Structure 1
Amino acid sequence: MRWLPQARRLAHEVVRPESRWHSAVATVPRHHFVPRWWDSVEGVWALRVGADDPDAWLEAAYSDRTLVTRVDACHADNASPGDVLDCGTPTSSSTLPSLVVRMYRHAMIADDSHVLVTTGSGYGTALACARLGDSQVTSIDVDKHLVQLAEERLAALGERPSMQVRDITGPLPGEYDRIVSTVSVRPVPATWLSALRPGGRLVTTIAGTGLILTADKTADGGAVGRTEWDRAGFMRTRPGSTYDRPVEATWDGAARDDGEEVSTSRYPLLYPPDAWDVMSMLELELPGIEYRKREEGGTRTVWLLHPDGSWARAGTSGFLDSPTVHQSGPRRLWTELDRIRNRLNREGGLPVYGARVTITPDGTTTLTRGAWETTL
C-alpha cells in the first residue's frame, strides 16, 4: 500500500513543519499498528478489517481520529470478520495523532530525554522512538496481550524500546526524565515522583475530566505545575482486563423511577461531556459520575449516575425548554450540576483551567486558582 503519502499528509495537518515531531508523524506507519478496529455504528460496535478494504483502512489510519481497538475484553485483532458488539466500553485505542503529539509537546521532551509512555496500540510509542531512538523509550501497559502485540509490531519496524507489562499506578521499572500518560489517573501516583529524575516532568490527564496536568519534580520529591489551557480526555486506568461498573446497580431505578425529588431546572438540558469545563468541575467535586443520554420520539433524556447510589434523570421535549429533573440517593447530582452552571454564569468562567498544581511526595495533589482549592 502507498501509505507514506498519507502519513506525510497527516503530518502536515497535525504538526507544523518545523516541529521535531513532524518527521515522526510523517514516517511512522499508523496502519501497521491498527490492522483492525471497532467502529461505533448506530449504537453498536462493528469490526473493521483493514485488509478487506485497503482504501478505507488508509483513510481511517491517517485521519486525525481515535480508533478503538478493544471494547471491554474484546480486542479487534482477536475478533472474527463480521463481529458486532451490541454494547461495551472502550478499553484501548489508538489515540488521535494530534493529541499524542500535544501530550508529548506538553512534556517538553529534549533530545536526550529518557521517557516513559503508555502502550495502547503502540503507535504513540513508535512516534517517541522515531523522535528519540528506541533506547530512550520505555512503554508500559497493564494488558499483557497489548504489550506483546505492540512489541511485535515495533520490532517489525526495527524499533526495540523497553516494553513492560505494568500497572502504571504501581512501581515503575526505572528512572525517567519524562513520564507521559495517555491514560487518566486520580490522584497522581506517588510512584511517578519516585521514578522521575530531578527536574523531570510528568504529563497526564485527571480521570473523568478534560484537564491536562503538567508538573515538574521539585527538590523535596514532590512536584509543581498547572492544569494546561488545553483539554483532553483519556480512558481511566484499569487494574485488570475491563472496567468495574459500580453504577449498574442504580441504573434500573434511574431509568424509570420518579425518585425522591422532582423539580424543574432553570437551565436548558445539558449533557455534561459536551461542556468539558462544567464536567471537569463536577468530577473534581463528585468523582466517579457516569453519564448517559437518549433521544427518542422527540424527547431528550440525560442521566447522571454515581457509585454511592445517587442518580439524576433530566428530560425535555423542547430544545430550550427547562427539563424536568428526577433525583434520588444520598446526593442531588443535578442540583450540584446547576450550582456549577450558576457559578459559570455569575463569574463568566470556571477555575479548572490554568489552576496551580502542587503534588506532595506522597502523591497528594491540590489544585488552586484564586480563592478556589480542591484536593484530589
Structure 2
Amino acid sequence: MSDHEKLLRQLIDTMTASGSLRTEPWKNAAAATPRHEFLRSGFFRLVPGSAPSAWAPVQQDADGWLEACYADESLVTQIAGTITPADIRGEIMREPTSSSTLPSLVLRMLEDLNVEQKMKVLEIGTGTGYSTAVLCARQGGGNVTSIEYDQEVALRAREALSRLGTFPNLLTGDGLLGDDEGAPYDRIIATCAVRTVPTAWLQQTRPGGQILTTISGWLNASELVRLTVHDDGTASGPVLAGHVSFMLARPHLAPPLGMLPDLSAGEKREAILGPDVLDDWTTRFIAQFAVPTAQRLKLQHAGHDEDVLVDTETGSFAALYEEDGRWIVRQAGPEALWDAVEEQLGHWHTAGTPPVKEATVRVTPEGQSIHW
C-alpha cells in the first residue's frame, strides 16, 4: 500500500468515526478519490499569529505536503482572485478566493444530498475538482455536470480529473445561472454560499428534486439548507445546521460601502433589542432574512460608539448607541432596517427561540424566508 493510500484510509476512518461518512456507496466513492491529485499546484497555509492574516505557499515538494492533503481541513488554493502558490515567495496578505473544502464537509454534504444512482446532478462550484470526482465515483461522469466561475480554476480541475480518467460535463461560467441546456436536474449541490437562492436553480430542478446549498449573507452567518422543489416553482426545506461556511459566490459578494449616508438624519426611538443580538451566529443568520442587503459596521459618531447597519442598495441605515443604560436606534431611508430585525427576531422569540435546525426555509421567485 502506497503512502497516499494509507493516508486516504486513515482519512476515511476519521470521517466515518465523526459521522460525516455514513453509507457504503459514499465510502467507496471516497476511497476511489485520491485528494492529493487535486492539490498538485500546492496550497496556502495561514501564517501563525499574523494580523492581518498572512498566507504562505506550500508546494508539492515541501515536507508535509502529502500529509496535509489528507488532513481533514480546508486548504486555500487561490488568493485575491488570481494568485496561486506558484506565483509568490514569502507571504501574502490578501483574502482567499478559492479552496479545497475539508473532506468531512464534502462527504457530509454528499450524504445529505439524498442522491440515488442514475440521478442527474448539477454541482455549482467545481473548485479543485475533488468533490466532483467523488460525485463521479458514485454517479458516473455522465450523470454529473459541474460549473466553475473562474477559468483558471476550472482548467486545473479539468486536468486533475483527466489524470484520474474522470470525465463529467465541465462548464465554465456563472453557476448562479445554472445549466439550462442540461436541465432538468434531480439534484443541485452548491460548494459556494449564496445570499439568495437563484431562481434559475428552482427552474432547473425537476419537481420533487432537491437543492443543497449554504445560505449566507452580508452579516456573515450561514447554514446548510436542503430544499425540495415543488410543482409551483417554489421550494422549501429544513436547515441542516452546523455553522457550515463557504465563500460567497463572487456575484453575491457585498459591494463596497462607498460614501456613508448622513447618520445624523432619521428618526430616533428606544430599541427593543440592542445590537449585541447580532454578535450571535444564530440570531445573525435569522436576521439576515429580514435585511438581506444590509452590512454591519462600527464607528464613532456624534460622541457615541455606534453599531450601524447600512443598506447600499436602498440608502437605508440604522444606527444604535447606548444612552443612559438604554439602546437608542436612529433610522432613515425607505427601509426601517432595525424594525425589520426586531420583527424577525420577535417571531423567533414567540416560537420559543428554537434551535435553527428546527427551522424551514421557503424560497419563491420573489425572495426567501425562514419559519418555525
Q: Given the two structures, how large is their TM-score scaled by the length of structure 1?
A: 0.75
Compute the displacement of 1:77 (Å): 4.3
Q: Is the 8 A contact 1:271 1:302 kept in 2?
A: no
Look up the match of 2:240. Answer: 229
**2:110 pairs with 1:104:** yes
Bigger Cα displacement from structure 2, 190-199 vs 124-133: 190-199
Specify the code of the residue in structure 1 equivalent to 2:107: V
Look up the match of 1:245. Answer: 255
**2:58 pairs with 1:49:** yes
Compute the displacement of 1:280 (Å): 0.7
Look up the match of 1:116. Answer: 122
Specify the code of the residue in structure 2 equivalent to 1:236: L
Deviations 1:146-185 (A, max 9, x none): 1111001110111111110121222514022111012222
Which residues in structure 2 correspond to 1:207-356 (within 5 Å)?
A: 207-208=216-217, 209-220=221-232, 222-231=233-242, 232-239=244-251, 243=253, 245-247=255-257, 249-250=259-260, 272=279, 275-290=280-295, 306-307=311-312, 308=315, 310=317, 330=333, 348-349=352-353, 353-356=357-360
Query: How far apart, in 1, do the equivalents of 2:306 and 2:8 lie?
Result: 41
Look up the match of 2:163. Answer: 156
**2:189 pairs with 1:180:** yes
In structure 2, relative to structure 1, the CA distance for the partners of 1:203 and 1:309 (3 Å cut) is: same
Bigger Cα displacement from structure 2, 46-55 vs 175-184: 46-55
Specify the code of the residue in structure 1 equivalent to 2:161: L
SS at match of 1:131: helix
Query: How far apart, in 2, do the equivalents of 1:162 and 1:44 lie?
Result: 36
Compute the displacement of 1:58 (Å): 3.0
Q: Is the 8 A contact 1:327 1:333 kept in 2?
A: no
Query: How far apart, in 1, do the equivalents of 2:260 and 2:45 lie?
Result: 28
Deviations 1:242-263 (A, max 9, x none): 9453225449x99xx9x99899
In structure 2, relative to structure 1, the CA distance for the partners of 1:179 and 1:347 (3 Å cut) is: closer
Look up the match of 1:139. Answer: 146
In structure 2, relative to structure 1, the CA distance for the partners of 1:312 and 1:61 (3 Å cut) is: farther
Query: How far apart, in 2, do the equivalents of 1:337 and 1:193 lie?
Result: 27
Q: Is the 8 A contact 2:277 2:284 kept in 1?
A: no
Q: Is the 8 A contact 1:310 1:328 kept in 2?
A: yes
SS at match of 1:154: helix
Query: How far apart, in 1, do the equivalents of 2:204 and 2:369 lie?
Result: 22
Look up the match of 1:65. Answer: 73
Aligned length: 346
Specify the code of the residue in structure 2 equivalent to 1:31: H
Query: How far apart, in 1, do the equivalents of 2:256 and 2:70 lie?
Result: 36
Query: How far apart, in 2, do the equivalents of 1:21 and 1:81 lie?
Result: 38
Query: How far apart, in 2, do the equivalents of 1:50 and 1:210 lie?
Result: 32
Query: How far apart, in 2, do the equivalents of 1:302 and 1:11 lie?
Result: 45
In structure 2, relative to structure 1, the CA distance for the partners of 1:81 and 1:309 (3 Å cut) is: farther
Compute the displacement of 1:366 (Å): 4.1
Compute the displacement of 1:226 (Å): 1.3
Specify the code of the residue in structure 2 equivalent to 1:151: R
Out of 23, 26, 32, the residue aligned to residue 21 of structure 1 is 26
SS at match of 1:200: strand
Compute the displacement of 1:5 (Å): 1.5
Q: Is the 8 A contact 1:8 1:25 kept in 2?
A: no
Deviations 1:319-369 (A, max 9, x none): xxx999997865887887688777767764157543344444xx3344353
Look up the match of 2:369. Answer: 367
Specify the code of the residue in structure 2 equivalent to 1:13: T
Which residues in structure 2 correspond to 1:71-90 (within 5 Å)?
A: 71-85=79-93, 87-88=94-95, 90=96
Out of 164, 176, 192, the residue aligned to residue 169 of structure 1 is 176
Q: Is the 8 A contact 2:361 2:371 kept in 1?
A: no
SS at match of 1:229: coil
Compute the displacement of 1:63 (Å): 2.2
Compute the displacement of 1:37 (Å): 2.2
Specify the code of the residue in structure 2 equivalent to 1:157: L
Q: CA RMSD in A?
A: 3.9
Bigger Cα displacement from structure 2, 302-311 vs 14-23: 302-311
Query: How far apart, in 2, do the equivalents of 1:303 and 1:53 lie?
Result: 46
Q: Is the 8 A contact 2:150 2:172 kept in 1?
A: yes
Out of 81, 94, 101, the residue aligned to residue 95 of structure 1 is 101
Identity, in percent, stands at 30
Query: How far apart, in 1, do the equivalents of 2:307 and 2:3 lie?
Result: 45
Q: Given the two structures, how large is their TM-score scaled by the length of structure 2?
A: 0.76
Query: How far apart, in 1, do the equivalents of 2:198 and 2:336 lie?
Result: 30
Q: Is the 8 A contact 2:45 2:58 kept in 1?
A: no
Bigger Cα displacement from structure 2, 176-185 vs 323-332: 323-332
Query: How far apart, in 1, do the equivalents of 2:237 and 2:284 lie?
Result: 18
